[in-house]
């Protein structure tokens, strides 16, 4: 009588790739005269934006991402300030992702410059995970001319942490057996989800390193920090069972705008929202997605930031539906202070077919709005994003 062979447990192995100073590195790649110089991507130093990325030469002066451009100039007046080129960065990002996808279908892109790859079952074909990571790193350098850092570990948290330990151009492996000891000396800020406020709260309790948290009573952490305390303890112990999700699993689609001058003009803000909604709607239609939840983001003159959201009656990808929802949120929550930044996003997404199936029998088909969207999309596809827009947007764009 034949017996099935016992199943062999294969330890999970995840690779995390992080491009080194990505936007700045692309600028130095395309413009050789920038190589070896402090490059700051984001805009001119007299503008109100923030630093997107800066080269390692600029980081020596204390410049970092999300710093205001004026502060970056104060710290590094000899820096070379350039505007970002989103389409160029996205094109190269796709090439990086395509290289990674060669080695496993389990790929999750988490931002334009970083992604996870589950190679648990790829090692029979391509060799050990460390070799796969090294091959990816060499290919990105030889084929694209760019540097990246990689981490190899039993889960996503450890892999991401590992990729950051020897930047730029590093490749670090964290083994399951030694994970706790390896990460114990690192500061608590290295744990996913620990920002400045949480770090300060932990420091007040004498928890300075990840090792300090490992020695804690997990129930005590839970009492002090709620559910987050339990998650914090598990991560500190190197435990993370989240799967590597498919790279096409888009969670939300959104756009933001920072005003050149803070404004409390509600009509001007509505006009800007309409422009953002048009971009969001077009991206949804291009991806053949529809969303159910609309979110408004408001940042006031004092940098205080608020998000408010509402659920629609049905999934949609139409500008008209999204705009009316987000404007209602604006009117309900705007407190009259000058606004620095406005944003809109759509989440709880599903495919077109799923959305159609969920429509109520009593919902009238949005024929005119659909036709208008299709015509505008076609014109923009052929002549560019700025070739056509709504009259309300144009009215405020043309104001002095």
Instruction: Tell me the three state secondary structure of residue 364.
Output: coil
SS (H, E, C) 168-225: CCCEEECCHHHHHHHHCCCEHHHCCCCCHHHHHHHHHCCCCEHHHHHCCCHHHHHHHH
What six digits make up the tokens of 286? 């291009």
Pairing of strands 39-41, 80-82: parallel
Dihedral angle sign, alpha carbons of residues 287, 289, 290, 292:
negative
Percent of the chain residues topping a pLDDT of 70? 84
Residue in 388, 389, 265 with CA at minimum distance from that of residue 337:
265
- Active-site residue identified among 27, 33, 114, 395: 114
For the cut 70, the answer to whether the pLDDT of residue 264 exceeds it is yes
Dihedral angle sign, alpha carbons of residues 313, 315, 321, 327:
positive
Is residue 114 among the annotated active site residues? Answer: yes
The correct CATH number of 179-236 out of 3.30.9.30, 1.10.150.20, 3.40.50.300, 3.40.47.10 is 1.10.150.20
- Top-tier CATH class for 252-397: alpha beta
Fold of 19-153+163-174: MutS, DNA mismatch repair protein, domain I (3.40.1170)
Q: Under a CB-based contact definition with an 8 Å cutoff, are residues 275 and 393 in contact?
A: yes
What phi, psi does 198 have (nearest 5°)? -65, -40
**Model pLDDT, residue 366:** 56
Q: Which helix (H) or strand (E) holds 152?
A: strand 148-153
Over the chain, what is the mean pLDDT? 86
Q: Which helix (H) or strand (E) holds 260?
A: strand 252-263
Instruction: Tell me the three state secondary structure of residue 150.
Output: strand
- Kindly list the distances between the CA atom of residue 225 and the CA atoms of 155, 199, 211, 273, 331, in Å, as whole numbers in the listed order: 24, 12, 18, 37, 35
CA atoms of 310 and 139, how far apart (whole Å): 45
Pairing of strands 114-118, 107-111: antiparallel
For the cut 70, the answer to whether the pLDDT of residue 161 exceeds it is yes
**Model pLDDT, residue 286:** 87
pLDDT digits (tens, 9 = 90+) for 341-373: 999 999 888 876 555 444 433 344 456 666 666
**Model pLDDT, residue 139:** 97
Percent of the chain residues topping a pLDDT of 90? 59
The burial class, CB within 10 Å (0-12 / 13-18 / 19+), for 258 is middle
CA atoms of 62 and 68, how far apart (whole Å): 12
**Model pLDDT, residue 194:** 82
pLDDT digits (tens, 9 = 90+) for 69-117: 999 999 999 999 999 998 999 999 999 999 999 999 999 988 899 999 9
**Model pLDDT, residue 381:** 64
Extents of the domains making up the chain: 19-153+163-174, 179-236, 252-397
């Amino acid at each position: 009588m034949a017996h099935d062979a016992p199943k062999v447990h294969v330890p999970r192995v995840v690779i995390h790739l992080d491009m080194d100073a990505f936007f700045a590195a692309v600028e130095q790649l395309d413009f050789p005269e920038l190589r070896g110089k402090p490059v700051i991507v984001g805009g001119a130093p007299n503008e109100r934006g923030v630093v997107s990325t800066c080269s390692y030469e600029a980081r020596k002066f204390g410049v970092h991402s999300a710093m205001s451009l004026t502060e970056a100039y104060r710290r590094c007046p000899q820096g070379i300030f350039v505007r970002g080129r989103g389409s160029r960065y996205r094109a190269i990002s796709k090439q990086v992702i395509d290289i990674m996808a060669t080695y496993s279908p389990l790929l999750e892109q988490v931002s334009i410059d970083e992604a996870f790859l589950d190679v648990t079952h790829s090692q029979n074909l391509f060799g050990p995970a460390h070799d796969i990571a090294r091959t990816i790193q060499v290919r990105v350098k030889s084929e694209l001319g760019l540097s990246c850092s990689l981490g190899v570990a039993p889960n996503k948290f450890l892999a991401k942490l590992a990729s950051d330990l020897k930047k730029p151009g590093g490749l670090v492996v964290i083994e399951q057996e030694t994970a706790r000891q390896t990460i114990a000396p690192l500061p608590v800020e290295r744990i996913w989800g620990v920002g400045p406020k949480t770090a300060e709260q932990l420091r007040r309790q004498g928890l300075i390193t990840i090792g300090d948290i490992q020695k804690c009573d997990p129930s005590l952490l839970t009492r002090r920090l709620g559910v987050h305390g339990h998650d914090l303890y598990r991560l500190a112990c190197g435990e993370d069972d989240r799967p590597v999700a498919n790279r096409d699993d888009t969670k939300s689609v959104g756009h933001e705008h920072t005003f050149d001058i803070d404004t409390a003009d509600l009509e001007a803000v509505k006009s800007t929202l309409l422009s953002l909604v048009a971009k969001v709607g077009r991206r949804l239609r291009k991806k053949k997605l529809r969303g159910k939840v609309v979110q408004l983001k408001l940042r006031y003159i004092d940098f205080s930031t608020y998000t408010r959201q509402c659920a629609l009656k049905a999934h949609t990808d139409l500008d008209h539906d999204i705009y009316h929802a987000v404007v209602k949120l604006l009117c309900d929550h705007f407190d009259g202070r000058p606004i620095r930044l406005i944003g809109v996003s759509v989440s709880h997404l599903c495919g077109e077919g799923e959305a159609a199936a969920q429509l109520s029998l009593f919902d009238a088909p949005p024929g005119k709005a659909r036709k208008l969207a299709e015509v505008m999309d076609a014109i923009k596809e052929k002549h560019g994003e700025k070739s056509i827009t709504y009259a309300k947007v144009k009215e405020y764009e043309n104001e002095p």
